[in-house]
Amino acid sequence: MAADGGGLDTVHGTECPTCGASVGETDRFCETCGAGLFEGLVPASSAQPPAPAPAGQRWLTSTGAPDACGGCGGTAFGPEGYCDDCGQRRPAGRNHSELDLGVIAAVSDLGHRHRHNEDAVAIGLLPGAEAAVVCDGVSSSTRPDAASYAAVDAAAEALLRALADGDEPEPALTVAARAAQAAAALAAGAEPGNNPPSCTFVAGVVTADEVSVGWVGDSRAYWLPDRDGDPAVLTADDSLAGQLAAAGVPLAEAPQGAQAGALVRWLGADARDTAPHLVTIRPDGPGRLLVCSDGLFRYRPAPAELAAATPAGTPIDTARSLVQLALDAGGQDNVTVAVLPYPAPESSQGATG
Amino acid sequence: MSEPAAAFTAEVYQNQYLPAGGDVVDAVITVTASGAGLRDVGGTPSAAEVIMIDCSGSMANPPTKLSEAKKACATAIDSLRDGVSFAIIAGRHDAQMVFPLVATLAPATPANKAAAKAAVQNLLAAGGTAIGQWLSLANTVFAGHPAEVKHAIMLTDGRNQHETAEQLAATLRNCERRFICDSRGVGADWVASELRTVASTLLGTADGLEDPRELPAAFRAMTEAAMGKAVAEATLRVWTPAGATVRFVKQAFPQVEDLTPRRTQVSARIGDYPTGAWGAESRDYHLSVQVQPGTVGEEVLAARVSLVTGDSVLAQSLVLATWTDDTALSTKINQRVAHYTGQAELASAIQEGLAARDAGDVETATSKLGRAVQLAEESGHSDTAKLLGRVVEVIDAPSGTIRLKPKVAGVDAELANVRSVKTIRVKKSEEG
């Protein structure tokens, strides 16, 4: 995903030495082939099992990588994350995750061009509230999945706790973003280096009468009404292009290319401005909130296009179908989407049963 | 946090991408020892030096050979650090201690250095040549001494005619890993293959000197290099995954040295290859591993290559294999791997071509030496190209079209042979 954060040391050229694609000068990995652009990188194996959920809530996360080697089933890995016996790389996250709580659902997939799924997603249900968090590892950082997997779990847990404690959605989203930032920063370890693990953050909360989203970076939330009103993107990307678009600069006049898409805010040890943007809407009628990574919306960026491509059906079927759409369109990046219908049911009993 | 200047680094150059079904992973590993931190690795190791100087009758013809050899010996003695132990051996059909008079090492004190130089000055040229005898005495002199770096210089001007090749080989087996030896030929009658065998087995270098007046500088360079060793003995440790086979491990720079048969098994997955002592220097290794073919998208660690001394890992790097259906990735040839594949072929082409020429097989000699000329031209190895030009008449270098010269000075062929293993590095500008 995201282009570089800017302001870091220029360490290599603008061409990937492996495949020749153009890369940002401080990218850690090539966006096209996934090759590391710096030598001596240590692949991540960061996923920790999630903490037990507080009573009365139910949540699922895409973190929790298998501990055994995918090649030989061995469990001993060298410090660089390769199996001591057969040399296979330790999986950093699951290549494909399907999270289904019935009422809400999410699907995440590796895509066709990447070797690690650096997108992480968690969904949760409380009586009267649905929540989803998506974090997308910034490929220009070191071990981005270390940040995204840690952040998503910390955020989901904090978000659900805050909501369970009676916080309004927006303050709860702020707490969640803070928890995500702390976890992403910790993922850098004792020696963060000059390009520590980084990720984006987007979270949505759907209640009986509101849809709230909070974000840092360029992952998005879309509001897709069933009947009334127009589809809309609720987030504004934390990129130069995104900021100009949010300020009303017409697309034709906006700058193009890598610089325009360069991320200006993110979470991680080197992130300074990490308070989430917050938006709340009170929809007139039922609809769905999509919380997604750019691996999906790069293929249908306009809200109307995305709405047209989003089939009706159960949330898990809808999520699967959207991920498949991205894969069929090329699957250039990891692709993740969570589907949260509005309004939230008054109780989550039906969902959990 | 500031880190100490790294003493050793290991960099890998490879194309890690394999097509579906591909199972051979080639990589060039550049190991470099440098910087202020080098001395901190284990402190300056203690050293011992033995110089074997040919005193056969032919050294008096012309007399400059012996007189320059004496000067060279004195220069080497002057280059010895305080605290180093040393000995001088005179080589003929047997071997005799010159200094000290008994088969042991003496400390390099000013008095001992002066006495040694005086003893060298009195040497006379008389007798034959039995290199194995000299090395055997050197081995005895070194034996039991606690010095960490044991280095020897062996100078000869002729064929090893007073013992059999088998006797020399047996002696070399006894000396292997006991000390390092650089071998040098002077004059017109030394035999390249003998010098290379000694240097190769004893992890040193081999060369020939056309002019005896080059000897003092050569001896100084060898002694100073030995005195500059910071790590007495290091091995290249190679881990490979289950089901993988090491096809070969070669030193590729500064000279070609096939280490494959010298593997010492450490565990089921790990083998060690000797590399000798290290000063501030840089060497390249070419590793080729056959792995179990993976499925597209899979990434495996094909080898972990480390330079190890005792229990400490000085530098380490990873050789990866990733299977892809993107042929743009899998068909890319790594420049350094290709370059060293060519340099190794160049060395064999010269050696095989010269051997065929000696055996009177003009056809094979012309074909092999033609290929050598072509490879030297392609890789820009101008030193080797020049040496080949003394043995063959080059008609068209790019196509490798040559004619054998009817009359060639013996030393020209031996020089081409002894230097056939010397390689050059790929030019930075040519790397893609």
d(CA B140, CA B126): 23
Q: Is a pLDDT exceeding 80 seen at residue A255?
A: no
Average the pLDDT over A22-40 and give the result: 47
DSSP B305-340: EEEEETTEEEEEEEEEEEE-S-HHHHT---HHHHHH
Determine the distance in angstroms separating the CA of B298 from the nearest CA of chain A, rounded to an integer. Answer: 8
| Cα(B305)–Cα(B327) distance, integer angstroms | 27
Give a yes or no: residue B430 inside a domain.
no
Considering the domain architecture, whether residues B56 and B15 belong to the same structural domain is answered as: no
Name every chain B residue with its beta carbon within 8 A of the beta carbon of A87: 240-242, 244, 291, 300-302
Cα B66 to Cα B71: distance, rounded to the nearest angstrom: 9
Paired strand residues for B239 = B270, B304
Which of the two residues, A139 and A232, has the higher pLDDT score? Answer: A232
For chain B, say whether A12 makes contact (Cβ under 8 Å).
no
Average pLDDT, chain B: 92
For residues B381-386, give the mean pLDDT: 95
For A243-263, letters b (16+ CB in 10 Å) and e give: bbbeeeeeeeeeeeeeebbbb
| H/E segment holding residue B394 | strand B392-396
Supply the CATH number for residue A147's domain.
3.60.40.10
**Are B12 and B96 in a shared domain?**
no
Report the C-alpha gap between B281 and B254 in whole angstroms: 10
Instruction: State both tokens at B430.
Output: 């040519």
Closest CB from B244, B300, B326 relative to A88: B300
Residues of A in contact with B1 (CB under 8 A): 191
Determine the structural domain holding residue A118 and report its residue range.
58-66+93-352
B324 and B394 part of one domain: no
Range of the domain at B274: 8-34+232-241+263-278+292-332
Around Cβ A193, how many Cβ atoms within 10 Å? Answer: 14
pLDDT value at position A353?
A: 34
Mean pLDDT of A87-91: 74
Please, which pLDDT band fits residue A18 given cuts at 50, 70 and 90? very low
Domain assignment present for A203: yes
Beta-carbon contacts of residue B166 (< 8 Å; ≥ 6 apart): none
What is the structure's pLDDT at A35?
Answer: 42
What are the structure tokens assigned to A114, written together?
């990447």
φ, ψ of residue A287 to 5 degrees: the values are -175, -165
Instruction: Examine the domain organization and report whether B314 and B222 are in the same domain.
Output: no
For the record, the structure tokens of B266 come out as: 């450490």
Whether the predicted pLDDT of B395 surpasses 90? yes
Q: Name the percent of chain B lying above pLDDT 70.
A: 94
ipTM associated with this complex: 0.73
**Is A72 part of any domain?**
no
Is residue A281 included in any domain, yes or no?
yes
Report yes or no on A48 lying in a domain: no
The reported pLDDT for the residue numbered A4 is: 40
Q: Are residues B364 and B328 in the same domain?
A: no
Nearest to A85 among B241, B299, B329 (CB): B241
The pLDDT confidence band at residue B95, using thresholds 50, 70 and 90, is very high
In a domain, A3, yes or no: no
Q: Residue B179 and residue A320: Cα distance in Å, rounded? A: 68
Split into its structural domains, chain B has a count of: 3
Q: What mean pLDDT is predicted for residues A323-342?
A: 96
Range of A39-48, A212-221, A257-266 with top mean pLDDT: A212-221
High-pLDDT (> 90) share of chain A, %: 54
Rounded to whole angstroms, how far apart are CA atoms A57 and A129? 10
Which residues on chain A are in Cβ contact (under 8 Å) with B317?
40
Contact A86 B242 (CB under 8 A): yes
Q: Quickly state the pLDDT bin for A14 (edges 50, 70, 90).
A: low
pLDDT score at A81: 83
pLDDT of residue A258: 58
Count of structural domains within chain A: 1
Give yes or no for a contact between B18 and B264, defined as CB atoms under 8 angstroms apart.
no
Q: What is the pLDDT of residue A115?
A: 62
Higher pLDDT, B377 or B2: B377
Which token pair is A118?
A: 């650096």
| Contacts A85 to B, Cβ<8 Å | 241-242, 269
CATH of the domain at B128: 3.40.50.410
Q: How far apart are CA B146 and CA B126, in angstroms?
A: 34
